[in-house]
Amino acid sequence: MSHADLLDPAPVFQLKGSMLAITVLELAHNDLARLDHQLSEKVAQAPNFFQNTPLVLALDKLQPGAQRLDLHALLAVCRSHGLRTLAIRANLAEHIAAAQALDLPVLPPSSARERPIGPGATAAPVPAKKPEKPAEPLVRPTRVVTTPVRGGQQIYAPGGDLLVLAPVSAGAELLADGNIHVYAPMRGRALAGIKGNGQARIFCRVLAAELLSIAGRYKVAEDLRRDPNWGEAVHIHLAGDVLNITRL
């Protein structure tokens, strides 16, 4: 290979991130004889599982005060049952040192979700993690109401706007995460942006409401009546902490 070839910029390799589901063997007791025996039992139950299965050996769950672990022997026991150790998971210095001596990578104790694999597992573990489901759409289409909203009725438009094209009687309640539009006499209560959306607005063709609220800031009829726009077509929005009523 000439010097010129070494300078060839075409990439020889690529580094990629990957998600792998892998079996973890959590060692509870430093008892290799019993491990050997119990692994034999497991192999008898699910022989296909133990065919050169990649393994992470977790030593961080070992009972404290155990005698010195013979990592080499432990690896041999696993290998004899078809379990090939890729790395160990450890937090004790001596375990880490032992792993490094054997040229085994050390993984930190992780909080990754781990499923205990039952005796019925015959197939290899799930090869790849399923991609995350796309998040639920947060915005829903506008809810449109065309019949009069009578006293005692409550209409809630989650995740969107509410549009009412008929009169809203006193004692009726309109709620929305978004805006509320009432293109008819509005004599009831309207609560917009109830999940805290201070940008929500309320529109009325005739302002005669009992209560108007945007993201929790409200005004009752007593205050609203004093507004010169009472009975007119208005648009209400929140400016800072105050409800502003503007003529449409």
User: What are the residues binding another protein (CB under 8 A)?
Assistant: 147-153, 166-167, 169-172, 185, 187
Measured CA to CA, the distance from residue 205 to residue 167 in angstroms comes to 10
Cβ of residue 158: shortest distance to another protein, in angstroms?
A: 19
Measured CA to CA, the distance from residue 217 to residue 196 in angstroms comes to 10
Cβ of residue 208: shortest distance to another protein, in angstroms?
A: 10
Where do we find the tokens 């989650």? 158
Q: Which H or E element spans position 72?
A: helix 71-80
**Best CA proximity match to 57, nearest among 31, 85, 83:** 85
Q: Which H or E element spans position 19?
A: none
**Best CA proximity match to 200, nearest among 236, 155, 163:** 236
Cβ of residue 148: shortest distance to another protein, in angstroms?
A: 5
Q: Which is nearer to another protein, 32 or 221 (CB)?
A: 221
Backbone phi, then psi, for 174, in 5-degree steps? -115, 130
Q: Which is nearer to another protein, 166 or 215 (CB)?
A: 166
Cβ of residue 23: shortest distance to another protein, in angstroms?
A: 55
Q: Which is nearer to another protein, 87 or 170 (CB)?
A: 170
Q: Which is nearer to another protein, 89 or 187 (CB)?
A: 187
Q: Which is nearer to another protein, 181 or 187 (CB)?
A: 187
Cβ of residue 170: shortest distance to another protein, in angstroms?
A: 6
66 contact partners, CB below 8 Å, separation of at least 6 = 29, 30
Cβ of residue 165: shortest distance to another protein, in angstroms?
A: 12
Specify the pairing of strand 202-207 against strand 234-239: antiparallel
Tokens in use for 7?
């300078």
DSSP, collapsed to helix, strand or coil, labels residue 182 as strand
Q: Which is nearer to another protein, 55 or 172 (CB)?
A: 172
